[in-house]
Amino acid sequence: MRAIDVLEEIDRVDTYKRFGRVKQVIGIMIEAEGPTSSIGDICYIYSRDFHNRKGKKIIGEVVGFKEETIIIMPYTSVNEIAPGWLVENTGESLKIKVGDALIGKVLNSLGQPLDGSNLPNMPLFSTEQEPPNPLKRPPIRESLELGIRAIDGLLTIGKGQRIGIFAGSGVGKSTLLGMIARNTKADLNVIALIGERGREVREFIERDLGEEGLRKSIIVAATSDQPALMRIKGAYTATAIAEYFRKKGLDVMLMMDSVTRIALAQREVGLAIGEPPATKGYTPSVFSMLPKLLERTGTDEYGTITGIYTVLVDGDDFNEPISDTVRGILDGHIVLDRKLANKGQYPAINILKSVSRLMNEIVSKEHRLQAERIRDLLHTYHESEDLIHIGAYKKGTSKEIDEAIRYHPKISAFLKQNIDEKITMEQTIHALNELIKG
């Protein structure tokens, strides 16, 4: 490049740094006059004496506009912000460091280690990514071993499939996720704990995940006390990390607990910026955000992301808006039943209410027929359960019911699994064969 061209280029560079000012704070939102911004831009908010090294810098994100006023939601508390604080727009969306050094780490929603350690220099990766082109998504043809007998045998999941775990509180969602993280054959786990109580994060790591699971996992934690935007960003950050490793050709397992709390956080943001409440108080942005987030997982031309999303069912109502929406987006659902948990069956998976939409395409014909046979036996027993328990059914009345009663203890034993019990796919298939043979 000629020297004159360089000088002309320098002349075109804007050497001014433009700031806005905080106008007012309403609830969890900050209203500022300027600077020019776009939705999703990261902003820094400085106290008046920041440049004297006595003040503070707060990070926020542009979430809306009101005429000439920009609306910013901070990633931290708004308690310390005062009118007149300076606002600087970075002109970029949130980016995080990604690389192998993250494996075994517990991160916050901004991709920073919660133990205060420093990350080495690694590439920056935007948390806002587009879902893969539908025509570039390879079909799912290969099963993924999760190490859970009930799932591998009767609800087989494929590499790149997205499935939901639906359950009320206290039925064993976190325990099941920990078992999957320890036992799965996926190359890497990315686990997002969104809206959890603070004590549950460490309990999940030490009790449910364990050292074995942590060695091949990356955890992103956003506890319930953090601002709504941090909870939402936790989901986006975890998904972005999974996408980075998928581009490296890995088979990634993304587990998110829970989608319901992400939806609640988005509702909080939506109401704060003036969205009207729609279905059961959820704002329209909730129902547009969920498919954009969930569609980012799955297969692409490089690797796979198998997504397992928990849905906290309000009052055990499996038809409430978030459950309905998520069930329609995902490739199957696993229902955890409180009645089964009360009977001592763990994991408390209700096989008759659960389905893997891709199972028939990724298992052998023999495996599929065996799974259908067990479903038939369970359905027959379930239909006659009340008569059997009160003694109204007489043996010999129905050949199908007699057979269901005979098989039921064996099927119940097949569906039960201890927390520390690791079952391979080969062992599951063998147990399935032995069960069918009687």
Note the pLDDT tens digit of each residue in 152-184: 999 999 999 999 999 988 888 889 999 999 999
- Model pTM above 0.85: yes
Give residue-wise pLDDT tens across range 125-143. 999 999 999 999 999 999 9
Closest-CA residue to 231 (of 204, 206, 196, 203): 196
Average pLDDT over residues 33-47: 88
Distance CA 266, CA 272 (A): 10
Helices (H), 248-364: 259-272, 284-294, 321-329, 338-342, 359-362
Distance CA 61, CA 269 (A): 12
What pLDDT does residue 14 have? 58
Nearest-5° Cα angle at 179, 177 to 182:
110
The DSSP code for 172 is S
DSSP string, 131-154: PPPGGG-----SB---S-HHHHHH
Residues near 335 by beta carbon (within 8 Å), at least 6 away in sequence:
166, 167, 318, 349, 350, 353, 354
Distance CA 109, CA 229 (A): 9
In this structure, of 9-18, 59-68, 99-108, the range with the lowest mean pLDDT score is 9-18
Q: Which residues pair with 167 in a beta bridge?
A: 312
